[in-house]
Chains A and B, each alone.
Chain A
């Protein structure tokens, strides 16, 4: 093996912002006023916030040092399962910062906003094409926000038929936020147990589906990284009872150009643009979670809708069946623009991206399954799930292995998720990781597994290379200190 990427450099220390404040400093230029001051009644006047005073160099050094304590995709391999941490093209940042986009007011008259409206219109069409659906709303600001939007659409659809349904089916291999999104719409989430093969059985759905049930929320490919093979029949069962099928599209990166969700019985699907369409995740956000729907759900989509008449784009508000608005303006446009740019850069290579993502995941699965326990030994999609069962005898857990990976310069995979797998290790390499890095990751994992037997204390003590060692999360939750 070549030298580990985890060889560390100098880590600078840095206090909290207010620990370095000196009153009277200011890090921005405040212009001289060219108008008179208007007095303010004492009834309204406040004291101003207790912010630290810092110069520009203080601020620049502070955040530069903080950034060096972080691991990002540009730092190294980030195989966080179900999060799709692929490379983020740099040209997107330049485009999003163009003054015409970054400086655009969201309430400009449509005549003065043709550029952004065209992007939204075309992006909606692209997403419809990729998913095989008929219409898209770009308003939801994140994946879970898209889930909620889809549930609101389900509610509105059933209401328009004079029905009030109370339950929704959610397989145990669905994403963690699905039940909460359904509950926000007043639906009681009903868990569906997957079969021994890790996918939904038609019988399990048939046994639970009735006229009180609004539909089902299927993550496909599911959180075990497996394609829901029975999806068409499952959809038929749900539709027969008047229900709707929701597809959680967070894992769309596996099937672009390979499966059209609209053709296999899905009525609504959300996409995590920040995942599949490669926009930076920013330490947890912002994202974007557009929802694509089939024709029968289109009347309920949020307003306004972007319309095209000849070469002119406009915004349409008058849609009586619409659920209303889900975002103050048009969603996270700055993210939409990156996804739009990504689709234009990739074109037909979107399918290749999915193929390579699946190839890389299967490659890791094959090469690690001799040393790590593989609960479902089947061809996987874009991610593979192992467990720590083989390491139990040595009292080494998934957590220990994850932490040890950091010392070697890798971000750990997703751990302890999905919940249906005990001690889960969920690896998603994505299509942008070169083969040499996959090989190095595999070799590193094998070394760690060897260490688990020979020198387990190295794992229990890990990590030692980062700025801090294992953090006391229990005390943080028991005695929360959320403010400095």
Chain B
């Protein structure tokens, strides 16, 4: 087997040193009644080329660009990734390293993460960011638990906008189920933003959480929500699925957010059927000791040279075990590095231009659909996605379009039962005017 270097001679020599007669003897400490006697029922081992053929066949059963024109966002976005990014990331010194427990020989990972933390904080307008979390949904759940921790558990109510990605809200509910903390969902206003009027009624409010741009693609009133949260002595938590929007729109930090979190897949990471992505997480400095996840800090070595280390580990399981505030001991290190490469490649100037392009494309598609007679129910400004109401029975047209290799967004009725025939569509810099014109032509024909 190509990954197993021990020859029969090696095995024989090593067994002799160990004092075992054969390989089975090595497991003598496992009681007989715990040992599996049969053979694993798995397919027989494949050669590299057989595996490649098998996987290529499976990959061909997927609807992907450029063959398909997919107008779907909803938390996973297609952006152009420059060739330099995956090329650099494939350097095995990055990809085959472990968590940087030995900083002297992990400065590559550590400096890249320090740079990631810095760029993340700048993008979100926050003071400090961690070294990344699993994904946007779990980052939101952790942010809300952190808000409760900051108030030392005295405040246990959470106001959660229904315009937060439905999957994120499901994850939050899963995390919260055994805790007894209370979640109140805030309804939607006709303009596509969150109705904050019920917030005053919530007892022991620890945080108000919004998503911006929200699931309908609309920009939220973050400032109003933050002011309201602070007036009630609660925290303002803002989450996002599309960080590129902050290349153009005001960032959450400038509007009073205390904790900001979300999904960073847009920043140079392939969609990969939804993972791995990148849970981004940032807050104000004063809350850093309540923050979950790993952090990288700057320091010096014995010669006074600049270097980086994992730090503030006292919050973690290593030191406190029974009293640890977080069980997170990994991050999305490679994805965070990938997004750093991407953010560095795009730069401040490029980020703005790219964000502008995303908005313009989506606005074009929106206006063309509107011109074609379809209703755009939520009129608030958006970034690169929006909701459109198609005529009753649009489902068959949708299927017909799939036959023509066009995926015309996703229906949202399963998450918002009142919104029958409403679809969420997305356009990014990867969708050409011609692609969008084809879509409009096909839905009207």
- Identify the stretch in B85-93, B155-163, B229-237 within 8 Å (CB) of chain A at 4 or more residues: B85-93
Assembled-state Cα–Cα distance A329/B274 (Å):
5
A-B contact list, 16 entries, CB within 8 Å: A40-B248, A70-B105, A73-B97, A104-B62, A104-B64, A107-B76, A108-B63, A180-B325, A282-B332, A284-B100, A285-B333, A329-B273, A362-B14, A467-B104, A476-B299, A483-B129
Asked, given contacts A106-B273, A362-B20, whether A285 binds B298 with beta carbons under 8 Å apart, the answer is no
* A48 cross-chain contacts in B, Cβ below 8 A: 247-248, 348, 351-352, 355
Query: Which of A37, A108, A285, A469 has most B Cβ within 10 Å?
Result: A285
Across chains A and B, the number of contacting residue pairs, with CB separation under 8 Å, is 679
With contacts A282-B335, A285-B335 known, what are 8 further pairs, Cβ within 8 A? Answer: A67-B93, A67-B108, A70-B93, A102-B270, A126-B42, A142-B134, A328-B263, A481-B299
Which residues from chain B contact A28 at a C-beta distance below 8 Å? 80, 82, 345-346, 350
B5→A101 contact, CB < 8 A:
no
- A259 vs B36: C-alpha distance in the bound complex, in angstroms? 5
Q: Count residues of A near B (Cβ-Cβ below 8 Å).
A: 198
Bound-complex Cα distance A85 to B112 (A): 21
Q: Are A283 and B98 in contact (CB under 8 A)?
A: yes
**In the complex, per-residue mask of B247-271: 1 if CB is within 8 Å of any chain A CB, else 0:** 1111100100000000100000011
Q: Is the CB of A471 within 8 A of B103?
A: yes
Complex CA–CA separation, A199 to B209 (angstroms): 46
Q: Is B330 an interface residue (CB 8 A)?
A: yes
Any chain A CB within 8 A of the CB of B364?
Answer: yes
Whether A345 pairs with B51 at a CB distance below 8 angstroms is yes
**Is A294's CB within 8 Å of the partner chain B?**
no
Listed stretches B303-311, B369-377, B386-394; interface member: B303-311
Q: Which of A213-250 contact B (CB under 8 A)?
A: 226-227, 229, 231-232
Would you call the interface of chain A mostly helix, strand, loop, or mixed? loop
B72 interface contact, C-beta 8 A: yes
Inter-subunit contact B96/A88 (CB<8 Å): yes
Stretch of B183-191, B194-202, B315-323 contacting A (4+ beta carbons < 8 Å): B315-323
A326-B34 in contact (CB<8A): no
Residue from the list A29, A88, A141, A360 in contact with B276, Cβ < 8 A: A141
Contacts of B334 in A (CB 8 A): 280, 282-283, 285-286
Q: Does B440 contact A (CB under 8 A)?
A: no
Closest to A416 in B: B318
Interface contact B109-A70, CB-CB below 8 Å:
yes
Given A282-B95, A283-B337, A347-B45: A325 and B272 interface contact (C-beta under 8 Å): no
Chain B residues with CB under 8 Å of A88's CB are: 92, 95-96
Q: Are A473 and B249 in contact (CB under 8 A)?
A: no
Contacts of B1 in A (CB 8 A): 346, 349, 352-353
Contact assessment for A103 and B122 in the assembled complex, using a CB-CB cutoff below 8 Å:
no
In the complex, the answer to whether A111 meets B329 with C-beta atoms within 8 Å is no
Asked if B134 contacts A145 (CB within 8 A), the reply is yes
Which of A18-26, A390-398, A449-457 lies at the binding interface? Answer: A18-26
Q: Give the residues in chain B near A226, CB-CB below 8 Å.
A: 29
Given contacts A115-B61, A177-B317, A480-B312, whether A60 and B274 have CB atoms under 8 Å apart is no
CB proximity to A under 8 Å, residues B143-164: 145
Q: 1/0 per residue B98-118: CB within 8 Å of A? A: 111111111111011111011
Chain A, 82-113, contact with B by CB distance < 8 Å: what is the 0/1 string? 01011111010111111111111111110111
Is the beta-carbon distance between A71 and B93 smaller than 8 angstroms? Answer: yes
How far apart are the CA atoms of A89 and B112 in the complex, in Å? Answer: 24
What chain B residues lie within 8 Å of A337 (beta carbons)?
55
User: Which chain A residue shows the least CB distance to B317?
Assistant: A176
User: In this assembly, does A458 line the interface, its C-beta being within 8 Å of a C-beta of chain B?
Assistant: no
Known contacts A329-B167, A350-B40, A109 near B105 by CB under 8 Å: no
Contact between A53 and B4, CB atoms less than 8 A apart: no
Q: Say whether B46 contacts A282, CB under 8 Å.
A: no
Are B357's CB and A327's CB within 8 A?
A: no
Per-residue interface assignment for chain B, residues 47 to 69, with 1 indicating a CB less than 8 Å from any chain A CB and 0 otherwise: 01001101111111111110010
Q: Mark A73-84, 1 if CB is under 8 A from B, else 0.
A: 111001010010
Judge whether A71 and B106 touch: CB under 8 Å: yes
The 7 closest A-B pairs by CB, nearest first: A329-B274, A106-B274, A100-B59, A282-B334, A347-B45, A70-B108, A27-B345
Q: Does A173 touch B at the CB level, under 8 Å?
A: no
